Amino acid sequence: MAVFLLLFLLLVSAVSGDEDAFIGVNIGTDISDMPSPTEVVALLKAQSIRYVRLYDADRAMLLALANTGIQVTVSVPNDQLLGIGQSNATAANWVARNIVAHVPATNITAIAVGSEVLNALPNAGPILVSALKFIHSALVASNLDSQIKVSTPHSSSIILDSFPPSQAFFNRSWDPVMVPLLKFLQSTGSYLMLNVYPYYDYIQSNGKIPLDYALFRPLPPNKEAVDVNTLLHYTNVFDAVVDAAYFAMSYLNFTNIPVVVTESGWPSKGDSSEPDAIVDNANTYNSNLIKHVLNKTGTPKHPRIAVSTYIYELYNEDLRTGSDSEKNWGLFDSNGIPVYTMHLTDAGTVFANDTTNQTFCVAKRGADPKMLQAALDWACGPGKVDCSPLLQGHPCYQPDNVVSHSTYAFNAYYQQMAKSPGTCDFKGVASITTTDPSHGSCRFPGSFGKNGTLFNGTSLAPSLNDTSSGCPRQYHGRSSSFTTSVIIGALLMGAVFL
């Protein structure tokens, strides 16, 4: 059994078809039970994540990342931007304290100055380029400018008329900032940092953007979006937004600045007004994004040119304000348990860890609750599954319903039987999935826990000498009402559910 996430990461430094792209992750910290820096780094290493972006320059995190080889983008937070943009000395002190003190042990390769400043802090727009220049000058003084690039992440919303991409341009009110900024990026060999969120493009399109187009799902040729000016075909929102940035730069006569996507992802959970913020869509988007980037597909405007991307984000951030989706962009919960297992078959690269065989057995959607209950009774009885985690007060008791409890029991049996053919059927009410059903502190057999530790389903099988009697009442779903005769009947049916 292999580790959940398959991120094998390579660096891009310029717009060149000869260079490879990388996938990195953002590490946010708005978490009530934030893992320690040591635990974060252990998870990164277990998942072969080689590129990270921090939203600050936290000393403890930078020390934990030392001697790992992981390439790090550190950030100047927006609340420090005004001071740095108005004082060369303040910028020099920031670089001395947060960069020079940590290199070369910590492999810092970029500094993100602010985050979406033109949207989030527009009054700082006039000093944004000064801040980049002051930071860069401090790097030059320390002979680090060739190793560490300086840029600033932008929201894609600063690009207007983004489709067709060939007509895109930056919001002209920001030309006094964008023109000198692009001159700076070009002169220092840096790149445009862009945050690309097809999820928001999709939900704000009022149905004009198909979900499949946002999720990188294959489209028939007649469903592809076509740029009427260039006749380039677009099969996904991500490429269209990136090319819009390239065309917007061309409009200002900058044609050789690469794009690095500093944030992209999809939420796995939302409130009632966000029906497409679900695990399956998050899994599909991020899995397809990784394959798209690492296959070096490029974009229609720049095929085979790397568009390296940082996934937003490593952990769910439960302290973020706003809708439920704001808290659920992470690949992992704060306890190190994956929110889902990504589908990365045919990603076109050699990965450090292969999870293509990581599968789980779950209750089918829409299955008859009575059939689920009977199968649950069998699994916890003759099936010899240890269903004690389903007891009230135990990790997997909630949600207290027959679908959730049967999913746990079905999967435990499937894992203890080494995923043998036919062991995930239960008379037609179960099916195999690659999405890890673990949630919160409930770790399913076959899943990976904190720092990538495998929870082996076979360890949950009770001994042949176990004296427990079948499936106690506490395991039953809340909505079920079964008599003793039904339970006895389930026990007598034996393997009929397999």
pLDDT tens for 357-397 read 567 889 988 889 999 999 999 999 998 999 999 999 998 99
Q: What is the pLDDT of residue 468?
A: 33
When pLDDT is cut at 50, 70 and 90, the band that residue 344 belongs to is low
When pLDDT is cut at 50, 70 and 90, the band that residue 297 belongs to is confident
Q: Does the annotation mark 116 as catalytic?
A: yes
Mean pLDDT of the residues in the chain: 83
Whole-structure pTM value = 0.70
Q: What is the pLDDT of residue 222?
A: 81
Q: What is the pLDDT of residue 437?
A: 87
Q: Residue 436 and residue 66: Cα distance in Å, rounded?
A: 32
- Segment among 6-15, 81-90, 209-218, 368-377 with least mean pLDDT: 6-15
Mean pLDDT of 399-417: 92
Q: What is the pLDDT of residue 466?
A: 33
Q: Residue 56 and residue 77: Cα distance in Å, rounded?
A: 6
Mean pLDDT of 398-408: 94
Q: What is the pLDDT of residue 458?
A: 30
Are the CB atoms for 103 and 111 separated by under 8 Å?
Answer: no
Which has the higher per-residue pLDDT, 300 or 9? 300
Range among 85-89, 221-225, 330-334 with highest mean pLDDT value: 85-89
When pLDDT is cut at 50, 70 and 90, the band that residue 419 belongs to is confident
Q: What is the pLDDT of residue 358?
A: 67
pLDDT exceeding 70 applies to what percent of the chain? 82
Q: What is the pLDDT of residue 295?
A: 85
Mean pLDDT of 46-54: 90
Mean pLDDT of 217-226: 85
pLDDT tens for 128-186 read 999 999 999 999 999 999 999 999 999 999 999 889 999 999 999 999 999 999 999 99
Distance from first CA to last CA of the chain, Å, rounded? 23
Alpha helices in 189-312 (DSSP H): 198-203, 211-214, 237-251, 279-294
Candidate list 19, 39, 224, 263, residue with the active-site label: 263
Q: Residue 317 and residue 190: Cα distance in Å, rounded?
A: 30
Q: For residue 292, give both structure tokens.
A: 């798209």
Q: Is the pLDDT of residue 1 over 70?
A: no
Mean pLDDT of 293-300: 89
Candidate list 116, 313, 317, 326, residue with the active-site label: 116
- 411-to-322, 365, 387, 443, 444 alpha-carbon distances in Å: 35, 15, 11, 11, 7
Are the CB atoms for 314 and 332 separated by under 8 Å?
Answer: yes
Q: Is the pLDDT of residue 484 over 60?
A: no
Q: What is the pLDDT of residue 8?
A: 30
When pLDDT is cut at 50, 70 and 90, the band that residue 351 belongs to is very low
Which has the higher per-residue pLDDT, 452 or 85? 85
